[in-house]
Amino acid sequence: MNGLKTSALALGLAAGFASFGTDAAAQVCTTKIGAVLPTSVDWGKPIAATAQYAVDIANETGGVAGCQIEMVLRDTQVDPKVGVDAAKALVDLDGVQLLLGAVSSGVSMPILTSVTVPAGVMQMSCCSSSTAFTRLAEEGKTNGLFYRTFATSGVQAAVGAMVARDAGYESVAVFYKNDDWGQDIGGLVADDLKALGIDVTASIAINDAQASYRAEVTEALKGNPDAIYMALYPKEGTQVVREWISLGGTQNMIAANALKSDEFKENVGMQFLGNFTGTDTASPRTDSADAFVEAYTARFDGPPNGPGLANSYDATMIALMAMHAAGKDATGADIAAKVASITDPNGTPVTADTAGFAKAKELLDGGGTVSYQGATGNVQFDKNGDVSAPAVTWVFSEGGIEEQKYLTLTEVNDFMASLN
């Protein structure tokens, strides 16, 4: 038994030396964190890979609170039952105090109400956008344990409406994906457009995986709008745009960030996308955001163009920094309480890379606070755990995706306030 222990220790140390070089000497403990993400879905895999990437960065700096981090990844299969079971297993069997996930609000919500809140585990979602979380937090039922780095749909909807106003469109038809995200943003953008005096000729739900959207497109054509707004994913978006243009619809198009994909551009064709404007909440204006794009490109052989990647990265980084601040063997509530000192606007700015993580650890150890400058910008949570974020508009070009205009946090907030 003793021999076994010693050799296991020796093996562990050897592995530590091999991969972490000089920092490894102090590394003998491992802290587990959980991740429940839809890895069986094509767009879910990169989100999980990005989270693991952030964990690797933390480990390169010597880990969190003196321990290496092991991310135990479980698949949700986008099935609430499976996701909740995975979360429960992570909390009970692996004893995690920090859970990353899920993507779909319909999975994140039951995990929150039946696993993480009862167990006092902190939950950080990269990608759930439903306004239901805000309401739950307002009722005080999240116990401050829930955070998300995905700005509520309000920001994008407002910027979408602003694009329509600036382009001088007088009437807009709205297509939205028929799920919680799409219904949310579709409803919000319609309200915002009306508030700006723009006519909303139709709001049309697009169900997944239909062979044709001719009926929906024809319905939208009836109102003869100046432009269309799309809160759709690339697959359905491609089909809707193809049918829309082939039936003689306008090429004036505004879209939410889910269409920010090379696949969409290639499948529709650049010649039809001249008047296309997209919106996004990411704000690559800080050095650390550029560094993220560069580092990501170097690591994954391509730029981070899928949905939720920058959010997943920031979610993991912030959570791990908070975990470090909370110290060894911290509970979920301890970690959640420390998030504010990571995203403190008056704190010392740190970048979202290895150097930034190491610097943040140093500052936090000294009792200071940091202002995390992440891949989605200068992240700040409100009292409900929601983020507001600066916004950008972007267009497709021959070379790929180009940013058009940058709206600072203040500009976004002022504009949103003017709508109400």
Partner 1 sequence: MIGIISYLVFFATVASILSIAVLGLNLQWGNTGLFNGGVVAFFGAGAYGTLILGGTPQAGQLGGFGLPYLLALLGGMTCAGLVAWIVGLLTIRLRHDYLAIATFGVAVAFETVMRNTDALGGAQGIRGFERPLRETLGNGFTYNLAFFVFVLILLIATYLFLERLIQSPFGRLLRAIREDETAAQSLGKSPSRVRLTSFVAGSVIMGLAGGLYATFYAFISPQDVLPILTFQIWAMLIVGGAGNNKGAVMGTFLIWAAWTASGWALSRFAPLEVQLYTGSIQFVLIGFVIVGMLLWRPQGLFPEKLVVSQSAKNKSRLSNT
Distance CA 43, CA 168 (A): 35
Q: How far apart are the first and last CA of the chain?
A: 69
Subset of residues 35 to 64 that bind partner 1, contact rule: CB under 8 A? 38-41, 45, 48-49, 52
User: Which residue in 62, 63, 101, 106 binds partner 1 (CB under 8 A)?
Assistant: 106
**Region near partner 1 per CB under 8 A, out of 21-29, 126-134, 240-248, 376-384:** 126-134
144 near partner 1, rule: CB under 8 A: no
Among 27, 31, 97, 104, binds partner 1 (CB under 8 A): 104
Q: Which of 380, 372, 384 is nearest to 408 (CA)?
A: 380
> Could you tell me which residues are beta bridge partners of residue 99?
34, 123
C-beta atoms surrounding 385 within 10 Å: 22
Radius of gyration in angstroms for the set of CA atoms belonging to the chain, rounded to a whole number: 22
Q: Give the per-residue contact string, 170-199, with partner 1 (x = CB under 8 A; - = no).
A: --------xxx-xxx---------------
Closest among 318, 365, 380 to 123, alpha carbons compared: 318
Task: State the minimum distance, in angstroms, from the CB of residue 138 to partner 1.
Answer: 11
Q: Which single residue is written with the structure tokens 């560069």?
A: 294
349 sits near partner 1 (criterion: CB under 8 A): no
- Provide the 3-class DSSP secondary structure of residue 119: helix
Nearer to partner 1, 123 or 286 (CB): 123
Q: In this chain, which stretch among 79-87, 264-272, 316-324, 373-381 interacts with partner 1, using CB under 8 A?
A: 79-87
The set of residues, in sequence order, having a beta carbon less than 8 Å from that of 411 and lying 6+ positions away, is 390
Give the whole-angstrom CA distance, residue 378 versus residue 286. 8
| Stretch touching partner 1 by CB under 8 A, among 73-81, 294-302, 327-335, 382-390 | 73-81
Interaction of residue 131 with partner 1, rule CB under 8 A: yes
313 and 54 Cβ atoms separated by less than 8 Å: yes
Which is closer to partner 1, CB of 109 or CB of 375? 109
* Residue 177, SS3 per DSSP: strand
Under the binding rule (CB under 8 A), the answer on residue 84 touching partner 1 is yes
CB atoms within 10 A of CB 1: 5
Kindly tell me which of 81 and 222 has the beta carbon lying closer to partner 1: 81
Binding site for partner 1 (CB under 8 A): 38-41, 45, 48-49, 52, 72-75, 77-82, 84-86, 88-89, 91-93, 95, 104-107, 109-110, 113-114, 117-119, 130-132, 136, 139, 178-180, 182-184, 205, 207
